Structure 1
Amino acid sequence: MSLDRQIQTLVDNAPQDGSTPGAIAAIAPVLKAFAERLRHQDYYILQTPDGNWLMTTLSNRLNMDLEKSVVYGFPSFEDAKASTPQSDEPQLLAVSLPVTHILFQLLALERVESLIIFETPGQRETGVEVKRQDLQKAIALQLQQYRSAPPSNLA
């Protein structure tokens, strides 16, 4: 699904409360810009059966007090399944999601600091980091412009 179609789906599925669809349309250029930096239209996210994303806490090798919570995105089902931790966690599912939807969802995940995207199937050593804070800043600027713009006259 194209990025424009993905964003239209977000707008179409937004609560029809008079403001949310417009706000999503307003932040669409930011979502699209971040998505265009990535190679794929969809990524696999590991989820619990009730839909919660698997969060991983990473520690800095040099300073163990530095930690951050991340969610991984994988380019293929096989990569996602191969990275499933062997633990007592409930059965994890590898779910394919449109990249703009992943970015949009990242905004709401306050405990997650970054999304780590693996771009090349079979290679999980190097990923592209999308910091939630960077995305939030860009969205906030876009929304500020949206809110300060004069209303369009539909005559």
Structure 2
Amino acid sequence: MDLDRQIELLIDGAPNDGRTPQAMRAIAPALKLLASQLQHPQYYVLQTLDEAWVLTTFTNSEQPQETKHILYAFSTLQDITTYTSTLKDPDVMAIPVPVTHILFQMVAMDTVDSAIFFETPGNLSEGIQLRREDLQSLVQSYLEQEFPIPKPSPGNIPPNIA
């Protein structure tokens, strides 16, 4: 499925509350920009039966309170089965997900710190890491263009604001 169709599906699936579809249209160019820099239109991710994505947690050995939650996105189903034995768990399955949907979910998921996209089939030692923080900054810049926040002028501030 091409990127334009993926974006259409995201917009069509947005709640029709009057604002969300407009916001989705505003961030669509950001999602498409990032997705076009990746090689595949879809990736396989691990998902539980209750549709939660499986994240891998890394802990800093010197600072155990510092953890990172990573989503792995594989270019082929074979790569995901090679990489992990998690698929032996009957409550976990590999599902194909359009790349723009992964990016959109990353914006909304506060539990993920970054995603690693394995681009080359059979090569699981190299991937492209996308930090959620960077994705959110890009999306925020597109939202601000569509929904500018008015700056208060000094004359509009009430004198008794405190």
2:69 is aligned with 1:69? yes
> Which residue number corresponds to residue 93 of structure 2?
93
1:148 aligned counterpart, secondary structure: coil
Q: TM-score, normalised by structure 1?
A: 0.87
> Separation in 2 of the partners of 1:125 and 1:142?
33
> Which residue number corresponds to residue 109 of structure 1?
109
Q: 1:111 offset after TM fit, Å?
A: 1.5
Q: RMSD value over aligned CA atoms?
A: 2.0
> Separation in 1 of the partners of 2:86 and 2:13?
35
Please give the per-residue CA displacement for 1:13-64, whole angstroms capped at 9, x wherever unaligned: 1111111111001000100111111100000000011111011012457x46
2:72 is aligned with 1:80? no
Evaluate the alpha carbon distance shift between residue 2 and residue 87 of structure 1 in structure 2; reply closer, same or farther with a 3 A threshold. Answer: closer
Q: Which has the larger radius of gyration?
A: 2
Q: 1:84 offset after TM fit, Å?
A: 2.9
Evaluate the alpha carbon distance shift between residue 35 and residue 87 of structure 1 in structure 2; reply closer, same or farther with a 3 A threshold. Answer: closer
2:147 aligned counterpart, secondary structure: helix
> Separation in 1 of the partners of 2:12 and 2:95?
21
Q: 1:87 offset after TM fit, Å?
A: 9.1
How many pairs does the alignment contain?
148
Evaluate the alpha carbon distance shift between residue 17 and residue 76 of structure 1 in structure 2; reply closer, same or farther with a 3 A threshold. Answer: same
**Structure 1 contact 84–92 (Cα < 8 Å) conserved:** no
Q: TM-score, normalised by structure 2?
A: 0.84
Of 84-93 and 64-73, deviating more is: 84-93
> Which residue number corresponds to residue 153 of structure 1?
none
> Which residue number corresponds to residue 158 of structure 2?
none
Please give the per-residue CA displacement for 1:103-136, whole angstroms capped at 9, x wherever unaligned: 0001111111000110011111111001000000
| Percent identity of paired positions between Structure 1 and Structure 2 | 44
Q: 1:89 offset after TM fit, Å?
A: 5.3
| Structure 1: 5+ residue stretches without partners | 150-155
> Which residue number corresponds to residue 145 of structure 1?
145
